């Protein structure tokens, strides 16, 4: 096409493709295909001089693209449709790079694509991609400014710029004052909720378990607790309508615990769930900042969790909750209409037995002796699912056992509630933390005992102790396990895969903890160590000043180093030649007189030392050529320097 | 009108170059605007990766500010020279550039409105040239060389001025055929200009050997010294002296008369005559050789301009 096309189309295509790469995994498949085909066409046009996509085709792509976006995403405005359209435009723009302005706009689009990626992905691999992409785009930017076709040079310079800019980035990242709230509204998440919702039906947990996604990670300051103590409390279900359990309505904030012991402090990095539940090990002592704790010791975030958050909690593994107020007891005894046989059995125990402890042990022996089967594939629930489970199928997953146990307790007059959360977690040996997945989802029961307050009872442990002591993989038959659990279980490859996965997970968590989750709070904590309090404007200004000062210092250091190189020193050729003269004099050759020219002197001493004549001539000639020649070449300087260094008359 | 070249060289005014100045280009303004938007967006959405990218790009821009500045800091020009041109032709202006330490990649230099491009590696010397259009005869000021670069990223432009006090180029009038104003004192008639006859009697200097030159014309003595193959130029000497007189030019537009006079001077010079020029504002005594030709043409070039008195 044109000169500009020949020179700039390929680099710009490279920069745009690089920046667009992560988007291709995210946008609808048809768009990925369109982008790949279109860039292949561009590449063929650039590389093999195939015909450039015509004007008509361009408009066809634009119109059909807008229509397709409308059809597949429902809108043409908004974040996702906007990004999809922008992605197409960025590639189409390559067809129009006539002026410098066009090329700069094209590069800005590459940077924009790059920035947009970061709103969707925050992982370490994304950071690596970002660095590489900035490297490529900056090299193309240099290429656009420099008329010489020096690719390697441009990549080198781009790399040098980035390396020098990294310290500036680090300083600004940690010191630039962060804000606490937000300047304008945050977007509402649109994707569905993962994990627990505030309603639990029989069969729900076994569905959650099929999902191998990480729910959260927990980093302990000391030793992580053993498997059987890793009950991660989430939601308390109070209200049972006969089919499903519900969290219920507003709950007043919690009261202090009567007694507590064996604290464990840990940091939870929670994946976005689109719900407000925050998980903690057993009974949390106090809500982390930005959340509240209900009377039933559940933690709730102020708004749905749409991005990864991190919080620190101290929990107590030995505790006594204060006696429950009457309304709590009332709610803990609420009975549904259905499931008559279960309710009748509970009432029968109540008539026969007097204390809650006796009732509990009666229930325990009932379940232990009842030939119940712990399975991931429970039969589909009927209208009275608890009756069906207890008296007919006798097959269930943890929520069946929990629901049945709680209902029995309530019918027998013991306040009970179902708790949803996670049990266990995989310890990552490469970083002292646990990975808790959706597949660790679990449900258990808390009953209210007059003296001890709310106490945990896990009926699943009665039929499948392995689930509690070890993990799901040990507790259910292999053919019921989700595929991901089977694959890693066997053989050396499985072990290697597991090690790889865990170490990568550890690197990522650290990346998240130190970089991706750095916040106003963390900044305040960091700066308070050097005496800057970030709560006031003065603190923010001080940290901003520190950022500017350090940046200036870095740039100043780089400038100073370069300036020293610039101060006119001795001509490198003269320097090398002087070295040669010194060596010659040391070897007993006559020193060069001031009026003596280098050529004459060279001939003179070459006659005295015929063995060195070749070197002397080479040095003299290259010196004369470089110093006095019409077109001094760097090759001469190099020869001169090398020969003078190697010259050894002794 | 080939056969006449004149060039002149000027040394840089010692100790007189400006500092390197630097400021944002409009793309720089755009870039920083985008960065501010990215900064606010990332702060608002607590997007740390966005902040990392923003701060990385800030760092890159700051370093490039400095690189752009440095790209001109090591540059110096020792000499400026030009080859005189006839109005309408292009005048070549050359600069002996030297680069100390830091490289000066991809800069442009402007002399009197004309732009040339250059690129120097660290510790390199090079002759840069630009060709300057000439529309009218006269003097072109070459006393200032403005150098600027936006390397590496185009976000900043740095510039600097080098001075060559008193440097100027001369643009001769464009030669035009016309009646020759050969005045009295002409040894031979107007009609019989003697040709430079190759193979004549008198040795008249050397020229580069060209295929087809008779071997006996080759200067073997020069060749034996290893200086290359040259032909000896022989020509029939001309002893005639002419006077070119302004008043003998056809009446009309002074520019037209200057052009015809220019043609006449060149013709006289080509015919290797001694010639003098009589102009209303200057009288040039008869002489021969390129210096004389230049002096005469210069008088034509400067007619009516400030420099014509000199």
Read off the tokens for A285.
């002592």
Nearest to A437 by CA among A274, A230, A224: A230
Give me the DSSP letters along A453-488. Answer: EEEEE-THHHH-HHHHHS-HHHHS-GGGS-HHHHHH
Report the Cα A569 to chain-centroid distance in Å: 51
A contacts of B49 (beta carbons < 8 Å): 118, 121-122, 126-127, 130, 516
Cα distance between residue A410 and residue A607, in whole Å: 116
**Range name among A10-19, B185-194, B264-273 with the lowest pLDDT average:** B185-194
Q: Which one of A131, A141, A565 has the shortest CB-CB distance to B153?
A: A141
Secondary element (H or E) of residue A262: strand A259-270
pLDDT, residue B7, reads 85
Helices (H) and strands (E) in chain B, counts: 5, 17
A369 beta partners: none
Higher pLDDT pick, A248 / A608: A608
Cα distance between residue A463 and residue A365, in whole Å: 11
pLDDT, residue A325, reads 85
What's the rounded mean pLDDT across residues B227-236?
65
Kindly determine whether residue A515 and residue B52, on different chains, have CB atoms separated by under 8 Å.
yes
Phi-psi region of A332 (alpha: psi -120 to 50; beta: other; left: phi over 0): alpha
Whether residue B203 is preceded by a cis peptide bond, meaning omega within 30 degrees of 0, is: no
Report the Cα A332 to chain-centroid distance in Å: 40
Q: Which of the listed ranges A274-288, A553-567, B181-195 does the model predict with the highest average pLDDT?
A: A274-288
pLDDT one-digit tens code per residue, A630-642: 777 778 888 888 8
Kindly determine whether residue B52 and residue A104, on different chains, have CB atoms separated by under 8 Å.
no
Kindly determine whether residue A119 and residue B45, on different chains, have CB atoms separated by under 8 Å.
yes
Q: What percent of chain A has pLDDT over 70?
A: 91
Report the Cα A146 to chain-centroid distance in Å: 37
Scan for tokens 């190189």, then name that residue: A565
pLDDT, residue B197, reads 42
Query: Where does the pLDDT of residue B189 fall: very low under 50, low under 70, confident under 90, or very high at 90 and above?
Result: very low
Cα distance between residue A175 and residue A170, in whole Å: 8
Give me the DSSP letters along A506-574. Answer: HHHHHHIIIIIT--HHHHHHHHHTTT--TTSHHHHHHHHHHHHHHHHHHHHHHHHHHHHHHS----HHH
Q: What percent of chain A has pLDDT over 90?
A: 14
Q: Which one of B44, B57, B58 has the shortest CB-CB distance to A182?
A: B44
Q: Which one of A165, A515, A519 has the shortest CB-CB distance to B46?
A: A519
The answer on pLDDT for A296 being more than 70 is: yes
B contacts of A178 (beta carbons < 8 Å): 43
User: Which site among B24, B56, B109, B117 would you substitute to test the A interface, given the most A Cβ atoms closer than 10 Å to its Cβ?
Assistant: B56
pTM exceeds 0.80, yes or no: no
pLDDT one-digit tens code per residue, A189-210: 444 556 777 788 887 887 777 7
Cα distance between residue A267 and residue A310, in whole Å: 7
In Å, what is the CA distance from B308 to each residue of A600, B86, B298?
50, 17, 9
Cα distance between residue A490 and residue A499, in whole Å: 13
The answer on pLDDT for A235 being more than 50 is: yes
Query: Where does the pLDDT of residue A228 fall: very low under 50, low under 70, confident under 90, or very high at 90 and above?
Result: confident
Checking DSSP bridges between strand B274-279 and strand B241-245, what pairing results, if any? parallel
**Range name among A143-157, A407-421, B20-34 with the lowest pLDDT average:** A143-157
Angle at B248 between CA B242 and CA B253, to 5 degrees: 130
pLDDT, residue B187, reads 46
pLDDT, residue A415, reads 92
Checking DSSP bridges between strand B168-172 and strand B85-86, what pairing results, if any? parallel
pLDDT one-digit tens code per residue, A326-342: 888 888 888 888 889 99
Which three-class secondary structure state does DSSP give residue B19? coil
Kindly determine whether residue B117 and residue A118, on different chains, have CB atoms separated by under 8 Å.
no
pLDDT, residue A568, reads 52
Kindly determine whether residue B56 and residue A515, on different chains, have CB atoms separated by under 8 Å.
no
**Crossing angle of the two packed helices B48-73 and A124-145, in degrees rounded to 10:** 30
- Determine phi and psi for A237, rounding to 5 degrees: -105, 120
The answer on pLDDT for B239 being more than 60 is: no
Cα distance between residue A117 and residue A23, in whole Å: 7
In Å, what is the CA distance from A166 to each residue of A116, A160, A169, B155?
21, 10, 5, 19
Q: Which of the listed ranges A83-87, A474-478, A586-590 does the model predict with the highest average pLDDT?
A: A83-87
Alpha helices, H only, A319-355: 326-332, 340-352
Q: How confident is the prediction for chain A on average, in pLDDT?
A: 83
Read off the tokens for A530.
């050097």
* DSSP label at residue B238: -
pLDDT, residue B185, reads 56
Cα distance between residue B182 and residue B274, in whole Å: 12
**Range name among A305-314, A454-463, B98-107 with the lowest pLDDT average:** B98-107
Q: What is the Cβ-side half-sphere exposure of residue B140, based on CA atoms within 13 angstroms?
A: 29
Which three-class secondary structure state does DSSP give residue B214? coil
Kindly determine whether residue A157 and residue B152, on different chains, have CB atoms separated by under 8 Å.
yes
Query: Where does the pLDDT of residue A483 fall: very low under 50, low under 70, confident under 90, or very high at 90 and above?
Result: low
- Determine phi and psi for A320, rounding to 5 degrees: -135, 120
Give me the DSSP letters along A204-221. Answer: HHHHHTT---EEEEEEES
In Å, what is the CA distance from A605 to each residue of A590, A597, B140?
7, 12, 52
Within 10 angstroms of residue B165's Cβ, the number of other Cβ atoms is 12
What's the rounded mean pLDDT across residues B154-181?
89
Q: How far is A164 from chain B (nearest CA, A)?
A: 7
pLDDT, residue A190, reads 44
Q: Which one of A148, A168, A562 has the shortest CB-CB distance to B102?
A: A562
What's the rounded mean pLDDT across residues A3-19?
87
Give the list of residues 6+ apart from residue B211 with CB closer than 8 angstroms, or none. Answer: none
Q: Which one of B56, B121, B154 has the shortest CB-CB distance to A141?
A: B154
Q: How far is B203 from chain A (nearest CA, A)?
A: 30
Give me the DSSP letters along A591-628. Answer: PPPTT--HHHHHHHHHHH-GGGHHHHHHHHHHHHHHHH
Give the list of residues 6+ apart from residue A627 with CB closer than 8 angstroms, or none. Answer: A571, A573, A574
Cα torsion B131, B137, B143, B149 to 10°: value is: -30
Kindly determine whether residue B45 and residue A186, on different chains, have CB atoms separated by under 8 Å.
yes
In the 3-class helix/strand/coil scheme, how is A492-509 assigned residue by residue?
HHHHHHHHHHHHHHHHHH
Higher pLDDT pick, A246 / A6: A246
For residues B242 and B274, the answer to whether their CB atoms sit within 8 Å is yes
pLDDT one-digit tens code per residue, A339-385: 899 999 999 998 888 888 888 888 888 988 888 888 877 888 788 88
Nearest to A581 by CA among A541, A535, A619: A619
């Amino acid at each position: 096409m044109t000169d500009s096309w020949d020179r700039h189309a390929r680099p710009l295509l490279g920069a745009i493709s690089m920046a667009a790469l992560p988007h291709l995994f995210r946008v609808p498949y048809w768009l990925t295909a369109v982008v790949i085909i279109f860039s292949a066409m561009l590449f063929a046009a650039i590389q093999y001089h195939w015909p450039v996509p015509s004007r008509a085709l361009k408009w066809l792509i634009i119109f059909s693209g807008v229509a397709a976006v409308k059809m597949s995403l429902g809108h043409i405005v908004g974040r996702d449709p906007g990004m999809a359209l922008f992605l197409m435009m960025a590639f189409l723009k390559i067809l129009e790079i006539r002026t410098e302005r066009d090329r700069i706009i094209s590069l800005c689009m590459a940077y924009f694509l790059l920035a947009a990626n970061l709103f969707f992905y925050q992982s370490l691999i994304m950071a690596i991609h970002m660095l590489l992409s900035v490297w490529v785009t900056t090299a193309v930017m240099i290429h656009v400014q420099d008329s010489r076709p020096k690719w390697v040079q441009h990549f080198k310079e781009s790399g040098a710029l980035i390396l020098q800019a990294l310290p500036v980035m680090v300083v600004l990242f940690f010191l630039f004052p962060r804000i606490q709230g937000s300047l304008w509204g945050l977007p509402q998440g649109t994707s569905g909720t993962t994990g627990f919702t505030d309603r639990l039906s029989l069969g729900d947990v076994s569905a959650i378990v099929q999902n191998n996604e990480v729910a959260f990670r927990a980093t302990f300051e000391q030793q992580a607790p053993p498997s059987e103590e890793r009950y991660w409390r989430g939601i308390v279900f109070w209200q049972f309508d006969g089919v499903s359990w519900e969290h219920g309505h507003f709950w007043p904030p919690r009261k202090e615990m009567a007694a507590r012991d064996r604290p464990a402090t840990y940091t939870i990095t929670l994946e976005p769930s689109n719900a407000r539940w925050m998980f903690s090990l057993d009974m949390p002592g106090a809500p982390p900042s930005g959340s509240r704790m209900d009377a039933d010791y559940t933690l709730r975030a102020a708004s749905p969790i749409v991005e990864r958050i991190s919080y620190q909690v101290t929990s107590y593994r030995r505790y006594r909750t204060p006696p429950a107020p009457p309304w709590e007891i009332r709610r803990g005894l609420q009975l549904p209409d259905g499931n008559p046989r279960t309710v009748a059995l509970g009432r029968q125990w109540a008539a026969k037995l007097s204390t809650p402890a006796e009732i509990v042990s009666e229930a325990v022996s009932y379940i232990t002796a009842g030939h119940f089967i712990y399975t991931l594939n429970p039969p589909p629930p009927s209208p009275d699912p608890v009756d069906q489970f207890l008296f007919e199928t006798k097959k269930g997953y943890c929520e069946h056992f929990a629901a049945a146990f709680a209902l029995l307790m309530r019918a027998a007059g013991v306040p009970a509630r179902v708790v949803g959360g996670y049990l266990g977690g995989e310890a990552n040996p490469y970083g002292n933390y646990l990975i808790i997945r959706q597949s660790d989802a679990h449900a258990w029961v808390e009953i209210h005992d007059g003296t001890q307050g709310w106490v945990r009872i896990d009926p699943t442990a009665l039929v499948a102790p392995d689930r509690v002591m070890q993990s799901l993989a040990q507790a259910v038959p292999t053919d019921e396990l989700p595929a991901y659990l089977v694959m890693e279980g066997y053989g050396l490859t499985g072990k290697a895969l597991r090690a790889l996965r865990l170490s990568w997970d550890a690197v990522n968590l650290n990346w998240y903890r130190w970089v991706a989750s750095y916040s106003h709070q963390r900044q305040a904590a960091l700066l308070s160590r050097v005496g800057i309090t970030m709560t006031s404007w003065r603190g923010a200004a001080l940290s901003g000043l520190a950022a500017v000062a350090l940046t200036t210092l870095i740039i100043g250091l780089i400038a100073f180093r370069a300036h020293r190189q610039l101060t006119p020193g001795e001509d490198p050729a003269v320097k090398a030649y002087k070295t040669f003269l010194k060596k010659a004099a040391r070897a007993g050759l006559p020193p060069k007189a001031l009026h003596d020219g280098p050529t004459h002197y060279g001939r003179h001493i070459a006659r005295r030392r015929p063995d060195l004549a070749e070197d002397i001539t080479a040095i003299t000639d290259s010196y004369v050529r470089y110093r006095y020649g019409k077109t001094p070449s760097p090759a001469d300087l190099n020869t001169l320097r090398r020969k003078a260094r190697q010259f050894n008359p002794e | 009108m080939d056969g006449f070249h004149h060039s002149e060289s000027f040394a840089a005014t010692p100790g007189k170059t400006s500092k390197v100045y630097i400021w944002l280009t409009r793309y720089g303004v755009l870039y920083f605007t985008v960065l501010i938007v990215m900064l606010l967006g990332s702060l608002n959405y607590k997007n740390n990766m966005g902040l990392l990218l923003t701060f990385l790009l800030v760092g890159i821009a700051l370093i490039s500010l400095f690189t752009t500045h440095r790209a001109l800091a090591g540059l110096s020009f020792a000499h400026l020279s030009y080859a005189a041109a006839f109005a309408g032709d292009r005048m070549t202006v050359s600069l002996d550039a030297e680069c100390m330490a830091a490289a000066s990649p991809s800069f442009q230099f402007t002399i009197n409105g004309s732009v040339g491009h250059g690129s120097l590696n660290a510790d390199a010397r090079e002759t840069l040239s630009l060709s300057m259009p000439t529309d009218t005869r006269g003097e072109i000021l070459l006393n200032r060389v403005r150098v600027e670069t936006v390397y590496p990223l185009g976000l900043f432009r740095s510039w600097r001025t080098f001075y060559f006090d008193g440097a100027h180029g001369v643009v001769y009038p464009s030669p035009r055929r016309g009646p020759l104003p050969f005045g009295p004192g002409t040894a031979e008639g107007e009609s019989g200009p003697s040709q430079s006859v190759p193979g004549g009697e008198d040795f008249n200097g050397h020229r580069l050997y060209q295929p087809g030159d008779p071997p006996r014309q080759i200067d073997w003595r020069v060749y034996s010294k290893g200086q290359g193959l040259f032909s000896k130029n022989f020509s029939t000497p001309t002893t005639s002296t002419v006077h070119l007189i302004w008043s003998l030019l056809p009446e009309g537009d002074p520019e037209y008369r200057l052009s015809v006079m220019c043609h006449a001077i060149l013709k006289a010079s080509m015919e290797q005559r001694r010639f003098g020029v009589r102009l209303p504002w200057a009288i040039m005594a008869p002489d021969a050789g390129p210096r004389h030709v230049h002096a005469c043409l210069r008088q034509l070039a400067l007619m009516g301009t400030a420099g014509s008195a000199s």
